[in-house]
Copies of this chain bind each other. A is one copy, B any other.
Amino acid sequence: MTPEEFREYGHRLIDWIIDYRQQVATLPVAAAVQPGEIAAMLPEHPPSTPDGFDALIADLDRVVVPGLTHWQHPSFFAYFPANAGYPSILAELVSAGLGVQGMSWVTSPAVTEVEQRMMDWMVDLLALPEGFRSSSTEGGGVIHGSASEATLASVLAARWRATAGQVNVDGDTSRLVAYATSQAHSSIEKGLRIAGIGTDRLRLVAHDANFAMRPDALAEAIAADRAAGLEPFWVCATRGSTSSMAFDPLPEIGRIARAEGVWLHVDAAMAGIAALVPEHRWVNDGLELADSYCTNPHKWMGIAFDYDLFYTADRRALLGALSILPEYLRSAAAESGSALDYRDWQVPLGRRFRALKLWFTLRTDGIAPTQAMIRRQVSLTAELAGWVAADERFEIVAPAPLNLLCLRLRAGDTATEQLISDANGSGEVLFTRTVLDGGVALRFSIGGATTEREHVLAGWELLQRVAAPAPAGPALGSDAAS
């Protein structure tokens, strides 16, 4: 591809993206395809000669777009949002265009130093503890791809600290015990498993009626493990769980962790960004007790995936866990201690110039549009909760302090499954399901950058339409009682 072709095609694709974004609301939210259908539209073997850019654009429209579930659709109420705002798309373009590596400071100093600044800017914007600043001597922050990676890094740092580094030599994790509730994200079990902490040393601490960890149960579990000769080493407090947006009580958990010398990781992947809005800063209450923390601007802040902010108050443990210095990566800057080598803050070696995505966004749009969206969507969620409460066929099954409402039909699990299936089958919305204390629930997640009141109202009216009619009398004998 010549530079002139790149110019022509690049301009066309910028326009194509605008067209896609402007049409996305008219498309079915989820792809209506069967497994194998998209693959069947692509040749089984690579082309023997290139077939050119026009054919490629045509196939984007013909093959790719119909095979997508549209995360930028205003009626995408599934999972959590993955807003990818225009400034961050441009930054991803520039990052790829520069094609530089940020694995070490010396491999492109600007990649590391813009990232340090962005991590510190976010300390300001989210009012995070000062100990997370890169300018602090003990802590610091780094961009990871996902909260899963941040969780793993946190576990590894904690494992290193608990064993005084010995784990790097003997790999012995046999006495280490970790704690979380059943509501913690699946990446918690996955990260622990990878680090050699199997399910028989992951304690699922009891939660209360609001799906939040019970600090007394945590304290008891830790005491029991100590009594058994085991070593409690890591606890995850979720601030905004995936199933129901539950908030583990942070100051209480933090005090226990501090007293017991257990590493406290705070997973605020979705909800942490709410702290951009001063009245929602409660999401970070108690965070000064955390050893590590993560939140994902790629969810509610419009920074195109992949973008997780991972902070630790104990840089030494993180580096102890992850740094290895082969001869071909030595540099004077790193050895002098005057520069950070972010490769030692993560699992992979290579790093893209992801800091640009935050930099572009904060310098063009700033945070005001995001703050307005968060306020609007928290308020919309409360309004939705009112509508749901007023329809006797439905019940709300968990508190909804931010932008996720979990609801179900009183008629029971089967009816709720059918509700989700029928609503999604319309193509007009997309919801995902979860199970809360054994009962199926529909997650109504309101987080899209273009999601307005009209979309939430239409989604609710659709649910009302497809829901089974209200039972004539009490639902005795239905599986609601199960």
Contacts and interface: CB of A to CB of B under 8 A. Distances in A.
Interface stretch (A82-90, A215-223, A280-288, A395-403): A82-90
A357 to B, nearest CB: 9
Interface in A1-42: 1, 3, 5-7, 9-11, 13-18, 20-22, 30-31, 33-39, 42
Interface stretch (A198-206, A224-232, A385-393, A451-459): A198-206
A330 B433 CA distance: 8
Interface centre among A108, A185, A338 (most CB of B within 10 A): A108
Given A11-B11, A17-B97, A306 B194 contact: no
Interface stretch (A50-58, A309-317, A465-473): A50-58
A422 interface: no
B14 A364 contact: no
Interface centre among A71, A85, A93 (most CB of B within 10 A): A93
Contacts of A196: 167, 171-173, 195-196
Contact of A97 (B21, B83, B125): B21
Contacts of A193: 167-168, 171, 321, 324
Interface stretch (A250-258, A347-355, A374-382): A347-355
Contact of A110 (B31, B92, B146, B168): B31
A109 B67 contact: yes
Nearest to A39: B113
A9 B90 contact: yes
Contact of A125 (B39, B46, B169, B187): B46
Interface residues of A, number: 151
A232 to B, nearest CB: 15
Contact of A14 (B6, B42, B107): B6
Given A117-B39, A363-B55, A350 B146 contact: yes
Copies of this chain in its oligomeric complex? 2
B97 A88 contact: no
A77 interface: no
A477 interface: no
A190 B99 contact: no
Contact of A99 (B1, B42, B84, B432): B84
Nearest to A110: B67
A169 B333 contact: no
A115 to B, nearest CB: 10
A291 interface: no
A96 interface: yes
A108 B31 contact: yes
B89 A97 contact: yes
Contacts of A50: 362-366
Interface in A412-447: 432-435, 443
A460 interface: no
A426 to B, nearest CB: 17
A304 B97 CA distance: 8
Nearest to A155: B194
Contacts of A327: 243, 433-435
A242 interface: yes
Contacts of A432: 328
Interface in A160-208: 167-174, 185-187, 189-190, 193-201
Interface string A313-357: 000000001101111111001001011000000011110100000
A60 B17 contact: no
A381 to B, nearest CB: 18
Contacts of A349: 146-148, 186-187
A13 B90 contact: yes
A47 interface: yes
A194 B159 CA distance: 10
A201 B15 CA distance: 55
A171 B168 contact: no
A171 B169 contact: no
B35 A347 contact: no
Contact of A71 (B99, B106, B117, B336): B99
Given A84-B99, A186-B324, A1 B365 contact: yes
Given A53-B364, A64-B114, A194-B347, 12 more contacts: A1-B85, A6-B14, A56-B363, A60-B94, A68-B98, A71-B99, A71-B101, A93-B96, A101-B305, A168-B199, A170-B200, A194-B194
13 contacts: A9-B90, A14-B93, A20-B98, A31-B110, A35-B105, A39-B116, A49-B366, A71-B101, A172-B174, A173-B196, A195-B196, A327-B434, A330-B433
